[in-house]
Structure 1
Amino acid sequence: MRKKHGAEFRLKLVREHLSGNSITRVSKEYEVPKTLLKKWISHYQLLGVNGLFPKPKVSYSRDFKLKAIESYLSKELSLRECCLRYNIPSDSTLLNWVRKYEESGLDSLLEKRRGRPKLMKDKPSQKKVKPLTRLEALEKENLYLRAENELLKKLEALAQQKEAQKKKR
């Protein structure tokens, strides 16, 4: 089970190591992996106390990702050093970028939207109305006239009903 450690706890462990205790001793005493403790120490040495606070979710540009990948692939920097220099919170983030870059090239580094797409992106395009044939035009007119007749009959029936009510009073 993974635990989230607060900034105070991280700072306490880092200071304990810097006061002379070995990484192994501190990690065993507080049951924290050595690699995680080393990471906290690196962040503390580079960024101070602010390096121990959780980082907010950040969107990185394609150019930024490419610089970090090239620094790592050219063996200029190790994985951890590259993450520290470019302030990338997790080694796995950089490794994922490298994997995508090697598999699919530069276009794979673009930020892709996640989640459900919006229902209506643009207004639906109007379908072009083709002219009606003579038969279709006559059928349409016939349908319209039938509806008009029905409406007039109902209107007349309502008028007669009102007349009958008036006579009853």
Structure 2
Amino acid sequence: MAKSKFSAQEKLEVIQAYEKGNFSIKEVIEQYQISLSTFKDWRNKYNHLGLEGLQPSKSWTTYLKETKLQAVHDYLSGKYSLAEIIIRYGISSQSVLGTWIKQYNGQKDVKTTGKRVNRPMTKGRTTKLEERIFIARDCMENNKDYQGIAERYNVSYQQVHQWTKKYEEGGEDALRDRRGRVKPEAELTSEEKTALQMKKLEKDNERLRAENALLKKLEEIERRRE
């Protein structure tokens, strides 16, 4: 019997089973009893969003009619791949998008679906560089609709605004996560330079204390030998 739900960690294990070369795609989908489209969905979301993209949805997703039509039009234009459209509009899977395309091509009415509307995030979430670049570009192409883009990609308004501004001013490199990077001394403020000097003094004092303690230990050993 096929497993109905997978945790984010279990989905990651499935992806890694293939990427580590342990199994072929055919062997993976047979082993874990999933469809090929499901495997591709998981892999695309992981590549674009990391582990966050593999998290199970906690609520029903509402897709407005306008969003569905725009997604279908983007696909038919040939400008975007299925994976890019799914990330662009926050669609749950390729099969969902495929259903919209079939309805559209069959001249059926494409209606708003879902039970609960996703609320925009206020605290933001962790993202990869590729996703930040994609979101910043999309925001610029859509007349800087920060709130609309934030809701589309399930990130905060502040994140979209910050990424777009950085991308405009410094390009892709400006969107890199520089946490943990050591600033060159020329970039330090006077306060940062003072703090750095204090840390160096503390380390020097600690080193001297350790050396003195070692010398005392050696002297004690020598006395015992006499």
Alignment TM class, shorter chain as reference = 0.5 to 0.7
**Deviating 4+ runs (over 6 angstroms):** none
The question of 1:57 aligning with 2:51 is answered no
Where 1:109 maps in the other structure, the secondary structure is: coil
1:19–1:113 Cα change, 3 Å: closer
Shift of 1:51: 1.3
Larger gyration radius, structure 1 or structure 2: 1
Shift of 1:10: 0.8
Matches within 5 A, 1:56-95: 56-95=59-98
Structure 2 unpaired stretches of 5+? 116-226
Q: Residues 23 and 38 of structure 1 are in contact (CA less than 8 Å); yes or no, is this contact kept in structure 2?
A: no
Q: Residues 18 and 25 of structure 2 are in contact (CA less than 8 Å); yes or no, is this contact kept in structure 1?
A: yes
Shift of 1:64: 1.4
Matches within 5 A, 1:4-153: 4=4, 5-21=6-22, 22-55=24-57, 56-104=59-107, 108-111=109-112
Structure 1 unpaired stretches of 5+? 115-169
Q: TM-score, normalised by structure 1?
A: 0.52
Shift of 1:52: 1.1
CA RMSD of superposed structures (Å): 2.9
Q: For each residue in 1:68-112, what CA deviation from the matched residue of structure 2 results, as whole angstroms up to 9, or x when unmatched?
A: 01011112234344223322112232233233334447xx33427
Where 1:76 maps in the other structure, the secondary structure is: coil
Q: TM-score, normalised by structure 2?
A: 0.41
Q: Report the Cα distance in structure 1 between the residues aligned to 2:44 and 2:98, rounded to whole angstroms.
A: 19
1:28–1:109 Cα change, 3 Å: closer
Query: What is the count of residue pairs matched by the alignment?
Result: 112
Q: Report the Cα distance in structure 2 between the residues aligned to 1:112 and 1:35, rounded to whole angstroms.
A: 21
Q: Report the Cα distance in structure 2 between the residues aligned to 1:35 and 1:93, rounded to whole angstroms.
A: 11
Q: Report the Cα distance in structure 1 between the residues aligned to 2:101 and 2:38, rounded to whole angstroms.
A: 22
Equivalent residue letter for 1:95: G
Q: Report the Cα distance in structure 2 between the residues aligned to 1:112 and 1:95, rounded to whole angstroms.
A: 15
Identical columns (%): 32
